[in-house]
Amino acid sequence: MRNRLLVIILVVSLSLGTSVLTRGHEWGDDFASYIMQAESIWNGTTRDFVEHNSLTIFESSNQIGPVAYPWGYPLILSPVYALKGINPLELKLPTLFFYTGFLICLYLLMKPRLTPTESLLIVCLFAFNPLLLKFLDQILSDIPFLFFSTLALLLMSSAHRRANTQLVLLGITIFIASFIRTTGILLLVSFLALQLIDAWNNKTNRELLKHGMWNILVVGTTFGFLWLLYVLSFPSGSESYLTQYQGFQVATAISFIYRYFQVFNLFFGESIVWKILYYILFAFFVIGIWKRRREDTVFIIFFLFWMILLVTWPPGRDRASFSRFCLFSSISRSKE
190 backbone dihedrals φ, ψ, rounded to 5°: -65, -40
Q: What is the pLDDT of residues 184-235, one digit of tens each?
A: 999 999 999 998 888 888 877 878 788 888 899 999 999 999 999 999 999 8
Query: For residues 218 and 160, is the Cβ–Cβ distance under 8 A?
Result: no
Query: For residues 26 and 119, is the Cβ–Cβ distance under 8 A?
Result: no
Q: What pLDDT is stored for residue 137 in this prediction?
A: 94
Q: What pLDDT is stored for residue 5 in this prediction?
A: 92
Gap between the Cα atoms of 174 and 191, Å rounded: 10
Query: For residues 267 and 131, is the Cβ–Cβ distance under 8 A?
Result: yes
Burial letters 291-304, b for 16+ CB under 10 A, else e: eeeeebbbbbbbbe
Q: What pLDDT is stored for residue 1 in this prediction?
A: 57
Give the CA angle between residues 268, 281, 109 to the nearest 5°: 85
Q: What pLDDT is stored for residue 2 in this prediction?
A: 65
Q: Which amino acid is at 316?
A: G
Q: What pLDDT is stored for residue 42 in this prediction?
A: 95
Give the C-alpha distances (Å, rounded to integers) separating 162 from 189, 212, 292: 19, 11, 21
Query: For residues 170 and 156, is the Cβ–Cβ distance under 8 A?
Result: yes
DSSP calls for 242-275: GGGGGG--HHHHHHHHHHHHHHGGGGT-SSHHHH
Q: What pLDDT is stored for residue 316 in this prediction?
A: 44
Helix (H, G, I), strand (E, B) or coil at 27: coil
Closest of 124, 142, 64 to residue 330, by C-alpha: 142
Domain borders along the chain are 164-336
Gap between the Cα atoms of 56 and 80, Å rounded: 26
> Splitting the chain (336 residues) into consecutive groups of 10 residues, what average pLDDT does each group show?
86 95 80 92 93 80 77 96 92 96 95 90 93 91 95 82 84 96 92 89 80 90 96 77 61 72 72 81 85 85 86 56 40 39
Q: What is the pLDDT of residues 63-97, one digit of tens each?
A: 667 788 999 999 999 999 999 999 999 999 999 99
Q: What pLDDT is stored for residue 290 in this prediction?
A: 86
Work out the number of other CB atoms within 10 angstroms of the CB of residue 66: 22
